[in-house]
Amino acid sequence: MSSTRPLHLSVPPKTAGMNDLLFVANAAGESATAAAMFGGKPTARVVGIVRSFDRFNTGMRVEGNIKRVEYLRGLSAIHYAMREHGCRYGFILTEIELVLVRNGIANTPFFGDLEVTSVQLAASAPEGDASTLPQETPLTACLALWGLCQLAADDTPASHAHWRAEIGAPAEGTRRKAQPRDSWIPQPQLAEKREAKRSRGWVWPEDAIGRKELGKRGVRYGGV
């Protein structure tokens, strides 16, 4: 899907912590699982998940708190996949839209700093109309996905951030690099805090690194 060295989209084996259908994009000759064979994390240049529109759509952001929480769960899922694969770019595909996500521009991005935009799947370019100017051609989902893969190509376009995000091993605590929450985000309920503590070992990004998230001792996920 890129001009110099094509990116290939594939579906890796399902892993713990990922309940959605996952797509990963890598350049020809790269393996998403090579690092995982030696105890590290898988790598990808772009990751994507699939969700039904009633579980995730961009309109939920401006609805009531219940819908906002569901929207945030979708963003949390793609954010988790991006950090697990050490990449900056991702997407969420539903029946109605393609949502494109970027995790900041810093080498080690702020935890949860997601820039989001979307393209409706119904958008299409006019067929057989030579009079249409390039700047008038609508952005379609296929073109948007192609552009996202261009950003993750071998040669990063000027003024854009490299696809690799320096996340490191959990012991390095990069999740503690976080900014204040946006005002529109609902405060978590007590039950949600308890579930977060139980499942991942921490509630807020700035919390101390716990034994639950360290995994295998001595493993550093920055590379093999």
The least confident of 71-80, 94-103, 124-133 is 124-133
Is 60 exceeded by the pLDDT of residue 1? no
**5 pLDDT tier (thresholds 50, 70, 90):** confident
Domain housing 70: 7-166
Report if residue 214 sits inside a domain: no
Quote the distance between the C-alpha of residue 156 and its chain's center. 18
Report if residue 19 sits inside a domain: yes
Question: pLDDT tens-digit profile of 7-41?
Answer: 889 998 887 777 889 999 998 877 665 555 555 67
Question: pLDDT tens-digit profile of 177-204?
Answer: 999 999 999 999 999 999 999 988 999 9
Report if residue 89 sits inside a domain: yes
**Which residues touch 121 (CB under 8 Å, ≥6 apart)?**
95, 96, 97, 98, 141
How far is residue 97's CA from residue 168's CA, in Å, rounded to a whole number?
Answer: 32
Cα angle for residues 181, 55, 50 (degrees, 5° grid) = 95
Report if residue 48 sits inside a domain: yes
Q: What is the pLDDT of residue 212?
A: 81
Report if residue 121 sits inside a domain: yes
- Domains in the chain: how many in total? 1
